[in-house]
Chain A
Amino acid sequence: MKSTLTYRQALALALEKEMEADSSVFVFGLDVPDHKRIFGSTAGLLEKFGPKRCFGTPLSEEAMTGVALGAAISGLRPVHVHIRVDFMLLGMNQIVNMISSLRYMTGGKLKIPLVIRAVIGRGWGQSAQHSKSLHGVFAHFPGLKVVLPTTPQDAYSLLRSSIRDENPVIFIEHRWLYDVQGTVDDQQKIPLGPPALLREGDAITVLCTSWMAIEAMKAAEVLAKRGVEMEVVNVRTIAPLQDEELIASVMKTGHCIVADYDWAFCGFSAELAARVSHACLGQLKQPVERLGFAHVPCPTTRPLENAFYPSAVGIIRAAERMLGLQESDLGRESFYSYEQRFKGPF
C-alpha cells in the first residue's frame, strides 16, 4: 500500500511492521515510551506491544548497549534508540570492543542481529554535543553496518532491512529529515548496500549523505536553470560500501563532488574521494572536491553555525569552479534553514 508519510511516521511504521512480524523484535532506550516518543518515531508501539517490547532505560549508555548485544546473541532482535547520536560515544566500548568483534572472535559462531538508531541534531543552538553524525567513525570499524536514510521510503525500507539483518547495524537519522514527506510503499524492500540515484545528470556527480542529499538536490535545481545537469547519488549504506554505481556515475560525468554530513578530515568523504580517484583517474577532468563540516566543534550562535555546515551554495560554487563557469547570482534563490526546512515531497 502506498501512502504519504513523514520520515518520522515512516520510522514508526517500520518498527510496528517488524514488531508485528517477529515477536523477538523489541525497542528500548531512554525516553522511548515517553509522551514525545523520540520525536514521534516510536509512536504507538507502547500501546500496541506493551512495556515488555517497548521500554525506557536508565541513563546507562554503555550497559544498555551491552544489554542489546547480550539479547542479540540470545535470539532476540533489539532496537536500541538514542535521541542524540553524541550519547552513543558513552557506549563506544561495547560497540567497538564487543559488538563489532564478537562474531569474529568466536570464529563465526555468534550472530548479532541488533540495530542502534540515533538522531543527529542541528539548529537552534544544538552546539558541539548535539550535532555530530559520527557515521564515518562507526564505519571505520569492521563488523558494523552503517545506514543513513534520507527519504521517508528509505527510512521505512532500510529500517526494516536493518532489523532483519543478522549483523549489527548503526542507523543514523537526521533530525531535519523527520518532517519531510514522501510517498511510502509499505511493500517496497530496499537492501542494505546500493546507493539511490536521486537525480540524473551528465555534467557533474554529487555523492552525498543524509541531509546533504537535500542540499545537493537544491543545488541541482539551481544549476539546472543555467543548463548544468547535476547527477545526485545518495549513499545510503556507507558500510559495507557498494561503490560500483558511484564510480559508474563519475565515469559518465568526469566530475565529482563529495558532500558528506560530517567533518572532512579523516572522514567518509575521504574514503569516497579516494575510491573515485583511484577508479576514475583517466576520466576525471578535475580533482574530486570534498565538502564537509568546518574543522571545529559545532558552534552555537547562528552566524557561526551557518558557516560551519556545508550547504547547497557550497555545492553550487564548487560545481561552477570545476566546470569553469562564472559564479551565478544566487540573491533570488531561497535556501534551507532551521526555520525554512525542506518538507518534501520527494
Chain B
Amino acid sequence: MLPKASGLISVKPPSINGNSTLSREEMLLLYRQLLLARLCEERIRQEYAKDEMKTPVHLGIGQEAIPVGVCHCLPKGTRSFGTYRNHALYLTLTNDTDGFFGEIYGKVTGPGKGKAGSMHISSPEAGLMATSAVVATTIPVAVGAALANQYQGKDGLVVSFFGDGAVEEGVFWESLNFACLHRLRILFVCEDNGLAIHTPTAQRQGFRSIPEAVQPYECYVANADGANLPLVIESARQLLSRMHADPKPAFLHCTYFRFLEHVGPQEDFQVGYRRRPTSEEFEHLDPLLRFEKFLREKECPAEEVLRTRQGVEKQIDQSVRTAREAPFAPPAELYTDLLV
C-alpha cells in the first residue's frame, strides 16, 4: 500500500468478508453500473480537450464501487444527496447517459437544462435530490429529508454521500448530532480518498480516524475498502439491516484511491504530492479490475462480460452523439426556474 500521506488510509480488517451471495444477474448488473461510470468518465477524458464540455469535472475514477455498491442495497424510493464528485452516483441511479452527457455539454437536454453542469447534476425523479460543490452542504439537507420521512410516518431511507474533507466542516457534526438525536433513518456514506484537493489527511485531521470520531454518536458505524464492491455491498447491507431492526442513523466509511487530479481529466502523479501506484497496487486499488477478477473467480461467463461492455460502449457512443447535436437552452431560459 502507499503511505498514508500519499492519499490512502489503511483499512481496518472488516468483520465481514465480502462473500455474500450475489446472483449472476446481480453481478452483471453491478458490472454494468461500474463500467458505465468508468467508461462515461473515460469518454469525458478523451473528449475534454476539444473544449466542448464547458464545465469543471471532478472525476471519480477509483471511487465507483462506493455509489454502485451502496445504491445496490437501497430500497425503492430511497432519496440520495451527493457531492460534486457525483457522476457514478447519477449514472447508477438513472442509467440516463443522454441526460448526463446533455448536462456535461451544457445542452437543454440535460436534467438541469445546462444550468447545473457536472457539479450540480441531479435527478429528483430518480431519487438523486441534489449534489453540491461546496463541501458538506448537502449533508443537513439530507437530514431534513430524513426528518420529513419521520414526520410523515414513512419508513423511507435517505443516503448522504460526502468526502473525507466534509468531516472537517462543522455542519457535518451538527447534522450527525441532529440525526442521532432524532434517530432518523439516514445512511451517511463517507467516500474517503485521503485528500482535500491536494492536502492529505495527516495535515488536516487532529483525531485518530473518522470512524472512531463518529463512534460515540448514537449510530451504527462500519468500514469498507471502497475498491471492493462486494465488500461495500455487504457492509451497507449489514448497516441497513441494523437500521431496519432498530432505527438509528448509520455511518459507512469507505476508503478509495483517487486516480486523477482533483478536478480535470488528467493524472497528476508527476507534480509530486503523491506517487504513482505500482502496477500491483493499481490492480488492488482499481474497483473495476477488482470486480472483473471477482467475476472470473465466480465463473461469470466471459462472453456475457464482453457483451455487457459492448452494450455500455454503444450506449455511451449514442449518448455523446445525441448530446453534441442537441441544442443549447434559448436565452429566455436564463430567467426561468428561479421562483415558482
Contact = CB atoms under 8 A, between A and B. Distances in A.
Given A103-B338, A142-B338, A66 B181 contact: no
Nearest to A65: B140
15 contacts: A60-B177, A62-B171, A63-B140, A63-B174, A64-B174, A66-B141, A66-B144, A67-B143, A71-B148, A72-B144, A103-B337, A105-B112, A106-B112, A107-B110, A142-B338
Nearest to A67: B144
B93 to A, nearest CB: 14
Interface residues on A, range: 35 or more
A70 B340 contact: no
Given A66-B143, A71-B144, A74-B145, A58 B338 contact: no
B175 interface: yes
Interface of A: 26, 52, 57-58, 60, 62-76, 78, 93-94, 97-98, 102-111, 142-143, 145, 165-167, 240
Interface of B: 79, 110-113, 115-116, 120, 122, 124-125, 129-130, 132, 134, 137-149, 151-152, 170-171, 174-175, 177-178, 181, 336-340
Contacts of B337: 103-104, 106-108
A188 B141 CA distance: 34
Contacts of A62: 140, 170-171, 174
Given A62-B140, A66-B171, A240-B339, A105 B147 contact: no
Nearest to B124: A109
Contacts of A66: 137-141, 143-144, 171, 175
The 6 closest A-B pairs by CB, nearest first: A70-B144, A66-B140, A74-B148, A63-B174, A108-B337, A60-B174
A106 B116 contact: yes
B170 to A, nearest CB: 7
B339 A70 contact: no
Contacts of A93: 134, 137, 171
A142 to B, nearest CB: 6
B185 to A, nearest CB: 13
A287 B281 CA distance: 73
B116 A105 contact: yes
Contacts of A107: 110-113, 115-116, 337
Contacts of B142: 70
Nearest to B129: A73
A105 B178 contact: no
Contact of A57 (B116, B146, B170, B178): B178
Contacts of B149: 74
A31 to B, nearest CB: 16
Contacts of B141: 66-67, 69-70, 73, 94, 98
> Which residue, A67, A72, A93, A142, has most C-beta atoms of chain B within 10 A?
A67
A64 B174 CA distance: 8
A62 B171 CA distance: 6
B301 to A, nearest CB: 41
